Chains A and B, each alone.
Chain A
Amino acid sequence: MQSYKDFDNGIIPAWCPGCGNFGILDTFKKALFELNIEPHEITLVSGIGQSSKMPHYLKCNGFNGLHGRSLPVATGISVANHKQKVIVFGGDGDTYGEGGNHLLHAFRRNPNITLFVHNNEVYGLTKGQASPTTEFGRHTKAQPFGALSEPLNPLAFAIAMDCSFVARSFSGNLEHLKNIMKMAIMHEGFALVDILQICVSFNKVNNFEWYKDRVYEFKAEYDLADKLRAFEKSQEFGDKIPLGVFYSSARSTFEKNMPIIKENTLVSMQNFPDIKSLIC
């Protein structure tokens, strides 16, 4: 490939003008290009939502499945062919709401999958309802008395579950995002990157200005495998919002733990075995 633009597939994204997704898409292509990854070497998996349209807008293998179900599909792909780089894109509703149970169990399994969550703290595609990360009390058409559930802290959740790579970035700081993306893609194991993203249409509160005043880049002064320090850092959200890698641990992956695929990929072993020994 000559340029990151070689990832373009000519499809025009169906996002709103000014959407944070454009920057994330462009940055993702750059990250792949800089890592020297070719389109056929990756399989992108997504669910439903604006962020889940990502795989359609670049050259890649892809499976755009159901709302909330991208992680099981990605796990199936990664186990069947662990030589493919499997990357998942989802939003806060897709990942933390509809797919919450799968996220919990992906943390436990630790498949070699990178998960990018476009977290805009609102339901965009369904036009403005509260999401699992919407702040308490926010009024919407569907939450007339304000959101009455506390927002989820995805980083604290991930660290508590020993997710093997946990980071946060921001769609308004693309250089930072690119570096985090590269680290997450290269990480062996399950990597969660929560990307704070602007929704120009339905989140008028957490807009660019709001974030700009709050976000700051940090480089952990603690050992990244120190769960307690990482958890402590993950509690910081409000007037100051840290961007960076919070936690990283060297856990063995699901694929490595599965003895059958230790040497060869499962797909390379596809055959029609003799069943004579079973008939007894």
Chain B
Amino acid sequence: MKYTIRICGEAGQGIQTTGEGFSRLFSSLGYNVFSFQDYESRIRGGHNFYQISFSTEEVYAPKKFLDLVLTFDKKGLEYKNLLSDEGIVIYDANSLKQSESDERFVNCPFREMLKDAGLKNIFENVVSFALVSNIFSIDKKYVYKVIQDIFSDKSEDILEQNMKAIDIGYNFEMKKKIDLPSSNNESKILLDGVKGIGIGAIGSGCKFYAAYPMTPSTGVFQYMGANAEKFNIVVEQAEDELSAINMTLGASFAGVRAMTGTSGGGFALMNEALSLSGMTETPIVILLSQRPGPATGFPTRTEQGELLYAINAGHGDFPRVVFAPGDPLECALLTNKAFDISEKYQIPAIVLTDQHLVDSLCSYEKDLKIDLQNQDYRLRSAEFESYQDYKRHKFLDFSKNNPLHPLAVPGDSRQLVFTDSDEHDEEGHITEDGEVRKKQLERRYFWKIENIRKEISPPKIYGNKNSKIVLVGFGSNLGILREIANNKKLSICAIHYSELFPLPLRENSEEALNNILNAYVTICIENNASGQFQKLIESEYRFKFSNNIRKFDGRPFNYDEVLEGIYAII
């Protein structure tokens, strides 16, 4: 069984809170949950929706067809053509001033019910939340619990009125009832991309986060802020992105793990300092949370249009890594890997996400463990004091396990730490010497790119590995790839890349490459117009995909349209 609910309304009508409420409710009952958000760049008005799918089976991606629409605006009534066979729409004809004769539309006079009970319209969300829960025959005590959790910081009085609103919702006589099969599972937890990245950063020892607010990267900025006190993190809102990344470099140079976050436009402003990170070999992690460009583009929507930009941004030759996690758990793991590689190789690392991933919730087992790999590569205190002949940019020392000279904390020793954006000698001072530059590049570029590449993990393979239809994607399309691989109609092999630059060595990804080479139909799927991922893979591994599926309307792929797309191809 699989159900999809869409809650719609204007910005400011509590759509997000209601949607989160349902996500919590179904995950607390042990169902697998996937939810995502669709919203406009405005504070009030417009039309937003929050869509939740829950199931006893795995669920990772948006669905096209809706089993229940709960709408607080007229626009929500237009989703008739998206209703599943048994689908219904819940609305309040009085407050929308529109009545539908179609029997799939169920008029629930929320406001009238509230008025009769002496409650304000603001409890409309809670009444409707309870009413819908009742349609799914959910025991009222679970609904109480969710509402209590959400409004735990509110006064006793407000809480009491909320409970009253739940009772009103449950008392409404509803002909249509759905008996959900029991999930037989323990309650689950929910993570979204924001939390995933935040957990990864905090667990990697991020002690400094500077940013300028920009959708859809602001969530992580605020998550770090919310955890600043508990984990001793300095979180600073910079005057612009130039400042944000330069502050981050300063903090890292001084000895702490540091991160900044932005979206495409802000990342453009950061490009010069990205190159500075490469030149001065100062490790930083940059969150690049994509939205459709160019320029201001679609501020609150989603796209994977900055893959090649992330790989190529910044002037001059310098190494970097670009990781594009596929789900909230990978967000944590790859942010951690970004920090580790960045510190180990003294380079910038980019974590590439998008609006769809940062705003999507996924359920996980309650006892989920996130295993992070951490090692401090820096020279500190006594270790620095006793270090022989420290030079910040010393040429490679092959007598060491890691021949790269370590980063040292300035001030922890009488030895000095100096670096420069100009080409520099071993001590970090300006040079005009061509031979010195060649030796610096030997370390700063050639040695690093060769060794970083060995650390890159192969893509993950889902579904039937022997299938002659292979679907290949990256980043936030992991959910789609996994669900397509799980489909019961068509045997499909799905391959997901999350470590995109450098790409894994051919010899480390033989299995995936063989699956592709042996298939009749190879489809590259991505959320952009130009096929950036396809170009990247094709040029690296020297083969051509037979087909592609691209979407660039600012909305994420849904399962049904991708399956239709594959059918159309074969």
Residues of A within 8 A of B (CB): 11, 14, 38-41, 43, 45, 48, 53, 55-56, 59-66, 68-69, 71-81, 83-84, 101-102, 104-105, 258-261, 266-267, 269-275, 278-280
Residue of B nearest to A280 (CB): B189
Q: Do A84 and B254 have beta carbons less than 8 Å apart?
A: yes
Q: Interface readout for B409-420 with A: 1 if CB under 8 Å, 0 if not?
A: 111011111111
A22–chain B nearest beta-carbon distance, Å:
17
Chain B 186-236 residues near chain A, CB threshold 8 A: 189, 191, 195, 198-199, 202-205, 207-208, 210, 227-229, 231-234, 236
**A81-B254 contact, Cβ under 8 Å, with A266-B208, A275-B202, A279-B189:** yes
B512 within 8 A of A: no
> Which chain B residue shows the least CB distance to A275?
B203
Find chain A residues with CB under 8 A from B280 CB: 63, 65
Name 6 interchain pairs, CB-CB below 8 A, sorted by A: A40-B416, A65-B273, A72-B247, A84-B410, A259-B229, A279-B370
Leading 5 A-B pairs by shortest Cβ distance: A76-B250, A72-B246, A80-B254, A61-B410, A73-B250
Q: Chain A residues near B276: list those with CB within 8 A.
A: 65-66, 69
With A272-B205, A273-B205, A275-B199 known as contacts, the answer to whether A53 contacts B189 (CB < 8 A) is: no
Complex CA gap A45/B418 in Å reads 10
Chain A residues with CB under 8 Å of B210's CB are 76
20 extra A-B contacts, CB within 8 A, seeds A43-B410, A66-B246, A81-B255: A11-B429, A39-B416, A40-B416, A60-B416, A61-B416, A71-B243, A72-B238, A73-B250, A73-B253, A75-B250, A77-B253, A77-B410, A102-B243, A260-B232, A267-B254, A267-B409, A275-B199, A275-B370, A275-B372, A278-B199
A269 engages B258 (CB within 8 Å): no
Given contacts A65-B276, A66-B272, A76-B258, A260 and B253 within 8 Å (CB-CB) = no
Tell whether, in the assembled complex, residue A273 and residue B428 are in contact, meaning their CB atoms are under 8 Å apart.
no
Set of chain B residues within 8 Å of A271, measured between Cβ atoms: 205
CB-CB contacts below 8 Å: B452-501 with A: none
Q: Which residue of A lies closest to B373 (CB)?
A: A272
Q: CA A71 – CA B234 in complex, angstroms?
A: 17
- Decide if B256 touches A266 in the complex (CB within 8 Å): yes
Q: Which of B198, B207, B255, B410 contacts A40 (CB 8 A)?
A: B410
Find residues 224-281 in chain B having any chain A CB closer than 8 Å to their own CB. Answer: 227-229, 231-234, 236, 238-240, 242-244, 246-258, 272-273, 276, 280
B247 contacts A76, CB within 8 Å?
Answer: yes
**The one of B207, B247, B252, B273 that contacts A75, using a Cβ cutoff of 8 Å:** B247
Contact, CB under 8 Å: A73 / B205: no
Check A105–B410 contact: CB distance below 8 A. Answer: no
Q: Which residues of A contact B415 (CB under 8 A)?
A: 40
Whether A76 lies near B419 (C-beta < 8 A) is no
CB within 8 Å of A: which of B79-128? Answer: none
B residues near A59, Cβ cutoff 8 Å: 416
- Decide if B41 is an interface residue (CB 8 Å cutoff): no
Q: In the complex, which of the residues A14, A78, A270, A280 contacts B207, with contact meaning CB atoms closer than 8 Å?
A: A270
- Asked if B255 contacts A76 (CB within 8 A), the reply is no
Given A64-B420, A83-B411, is A266 in contact with B207 using a C-beta cutoff of 8 Å? yes
A76 and B411 in contact, given A55-B418, A61-B418 (Cβ under 8 angstroms): no
When distances are taken between beta carbons in the complex, the residues of chain A under 8 Å from B409 are: 81, 267
Q: How far is the CA of A40 from the CA of B251 in the complex (A)?
A: 17
Output the least CB separation between B144 and chain A (Å).
Answer: 20
Within 8 A of A (CB), among B158-200: 189, 191, 195, 198-199
Q: A278 and B198: CB pair below 8 A?
A: yes
Evaluate contact between B256 and A65: CB separation under 8 angstroms. Answer: no
Pick the contact of B256 from A63, A80, A258 — CB < 8 Å?
A80
Q: Give the distance in Å from the alpha carbon of A75 to the alpha carbon of B246 in the complex.
A: 9
Write out the residue numbers on chain B whose beta carbons fall within 8 Å of the beta carbon of A55: 418
Q: How far is the CB of A269 from chain B (nearest CB, A)?
A: 5
A64: chain B residues at CB < 8 Å are 419-422, 430
Q: How far is the CA of A80 from the CA of B378 in the complex (A)?
A: 15
Residues on A with C-beta less than 8 A from B233 are 260
Q: A38 vs B414: C-alpha distance in the bound complex, in angstroms?
A: 9
Contact of A40 with B246 at beta-carbon distance under 8 Å, contacts A80-B208, A104-B239, A260-B233 already known? no
B254 adjacent to A76 (CB under 8 Å): yes
Name B394-440 residues within 8 Å CB distance of A.
409-411, 413-422, 428-430
Expressed in whole angstroms, the minimum distance between the Cβ of B493 and any Cβ of chain A is: 32
Smallest CB gap from A267: residue in B: B255
Q: From B246, B252, B416, B418, give the contact of A69 (CB < 8 A).
A: B246
Q: Write out the residue numbers on chain B whose beta carbons fall within 8 Å of the beta carbon of A269.
A: 207, 232
CB-defined contacts of A71 to chain B, threshold 8 Å: 243
Q: Does A273 lie within 8 Å of B411, measured CB to CB? A: no
Q: Is B450's beta carbon under 8 Å from chain A?
A: no
Cβ distance A168 to chain B, nearest Cβ, rounded Å: 25
Q: Do A101 and B240 touch across chains, with their CB atoms under 8 A apart?
A: yes
A66 adjacent to B208 (CB under 8 Å):
no
Query: Inside 8 A of B256's CB, which chain A residues have their CB?
Result: 80, 266-267, 270
In the complex, whether B547 has a CB less than 8 A from a CB of chain A is no
B386 at the interface (CB under 8 A from A): no
- Closest residue of chain B to A55, judged by CB? B418
Q: Check if A270 sits within 8 Å of B247, measured CB to CB.
A: no
Q: Considering only CB atoms, which chain B residue lies closest to A41 in the complex?
A: B411
Cross-chain contact A278 with B202 (CB below 8 angstroms):
yes
* B208 contact set on A, CB distance < 8 A: 76, 79-80, 266
Contact across chains for B429 and A272 when beta carbons are under 8 A apart: no
Question: Is B17 among interface residues, defined by CB-CB distance under 8 A?
Answer: no
Residue of B208, B410, B414 with most chain A CB atoms under a 10 A cut-off: B410
Q: Say how far A174's CB is from chain B's closest CB, in angstroms.
A: 25
Residues of A within 8 A of B312 (CB): none
* The residue from B203, B250, B414, B430 contacting A273, defined by CB atoms under 8 A apart: B203
Nearest to B329 among chain A residues (CB) is A279
Tell me the bound Cα distance from A133 to B409 in angstroms.
37
- Would you call B514 an interface residue if the criterion is a C-beta within 8 Å of the partner chain's C-beta atoms? no
CB distance from B238 to the nearest CB of A (A): 7
A81 to B247, CA, bound (A): 13
Give complex CA distance A273, B208 in Å: 14
Contact between A69 and B236, CB atoms less than 8 A apart? no
A38 and B532 CA atoms in complex are apart in Å by: 53
Contact A80 B228 (CB under 8 A): no
B420:A56 contact, CB within 8 angstroms: yes
B57 interface hit (Cβ, 8 Å): no
Question: Which residue from A80, A274, A278, A280 sits with its C-beta under 8 Å from B250?
Answer: A80
Contact (Cβ within 8 A) B246 A56: no
Cβ-based interface call for B546 (8 A): no
List B contacts of A48 (CB < 8 A). 421
B374 part of interface (Cβ distance < 8 Å): yes
Residues of B within 8 A of A75 (CB): 243, 247, 250
Q: Is B376 an interface residue (CB 8 A)?
A: yes
Q: B428 — which chain A residues lie within 8 A by C-beta?
A: 62
Chain A residue nearest to B250 in the complex (CB): A76
Q: In the complex, what residue of chain B is closest to A39 when comparing beta carbons?
A: B416
Q: Does the CB pair A69–B242 fall under 8 Å?
A: yes
Q: Are B248 and A270 in contact (CB under 8 A)?
A: no
Cβ-based interface call for B368 (8 A): yes
Q: Which chain A residues border B414 with CB–CB below 8 Å?
A: 38-40
